[in-house]
Structure 1
Amino acid sequence: MKVVNATKEDIKQWLILAAEVEELFGPMVNDPLFVRTLERNICEGRAFCIRENDGVPGEPLLGGILISTRNAPSYKIGWLAVSEKARNQGAASALMRHVLELFQSPAEVSVVTFGEDLEGGLPARKLYEKFGFVPQEDPIPRGPEGGGRQLYILMLD
């Protein structure tokens, strides 16, 4: 499983992946803001993906991640999703390892993920905790689908 920079040729497949997870994330595929954010992240080299069979740009995606590096040394994971067919096969961990290696220490990495009230979000919470992220007490607005959200922070020394 090779993590690579996403390209414009991956946008169609990225939106297919986004459609798979809209139940948890809320509407994205038809949201012009999400599409613009995705395009900007790709152009700025802050979108990474794993393609099926380590294929060429435009091949189906097993997973993808968007990051923000604008406020370094405070980094943000803005979006992480794995295709249903690739879950529990290490794709999310490979994406996480890749981006965490990009961040210069010392640093703070934050991510807003699903709250305890969303059973479908439990794998995401476990993933972040596996990598050392700690849930914060700060209140977070509910997601667009109505589910709770939780801020997680990782301190890199």
Structure 2
Amino acid sequence: MEVVSSELKDFVAWITLVKEVEHLFGPMADEASFQDGLEQAILQKTAFCIRSEQNEDKQELMGGVVISKETNEIAWLAVSKKYRSQGYGKVLLNYAISQLDRQNEIYVQTFDESVPEGKAARRLYVNLGFKDSKPGGLNPAGLNTVIMKTSKTS
């Protein structure tokens, strides 16, 4: 399971993954602003993925993560349903963290502990040192979120 920088050839596979999680994150796949942001992240080498072992004709992402070096945050993370609970989220998150400034706090907006569908995501972040920082409000899907952050390391 290798994390790689996404390429433009992955764009359709990214949109397929995005559609799979829209019920948790809100509408994105058909939103021009999301598509433009994803394309920019790919071009800026801040979008990373784990590709399936399928043939080149039918590329599929097992999971993907987008970071922001400017705000030192995990901007987006998802694992395809059929690959969940197999360690892919942890691998993606560890890789993303390695690309950010660990000397400063790293941020992520994820599900509040009151959201049953978000328990696995929260557990992943907590296990890697993130702690609740402040309420994040409702996401576009209407689910409560929280801003989590890591501690600074010296």
TM-score (norm 1): 0.91
2:138 to 119, 136, 142: 142
1:93 corresponds to 2:97 = no
Is residue 8 of structure 2 the alignment partner of residue 3 of structure 1?
A: no
Quote the residue 1:118 is aligned against.
115
Q: State the partner residue of 2:42.
A: 42
Q: How many percent identity over aligned positions?
A: 35
Deviation at 1:140, TM superposition (A): 1.9
Task: Show structure 2 runs of 5+ residues with no match.
Answer: none
Unaligned runs of 5+ in 1: none
| Whole-Å separation in 1 of the counterparts to 2:43 and 2:13 | 16
Aligned-residue CA RMSD in angstroms?
1.7
Secondary structure of the equivalent of 1:104?
A: coil
Using the TM superposition, give the Cα deviation of residue 156 of structure 1 relative to its aligned residue in structure 2, in angstroms: 4.1
The 1:12/1:108 distance shift into structure 2, 3 A limit, reads: same
Partners of 1:12 and 1:58 within 8 A in 2: no
Deviation at 1:48, TM superposition (A): 0.1
- Tell me how far 1:57 sits from its aligned partner: 9.6
The question of 1:84 aligning with 2:81 is answered yes
Contact (CA 8 Å) 2:54, 2:60: kept in 1 or not? no
1:53-73 Cα offsets, whole Å, 9 max, x none, are 2876971000000000024xx
- 1:108 equivalent in structure 2: 105
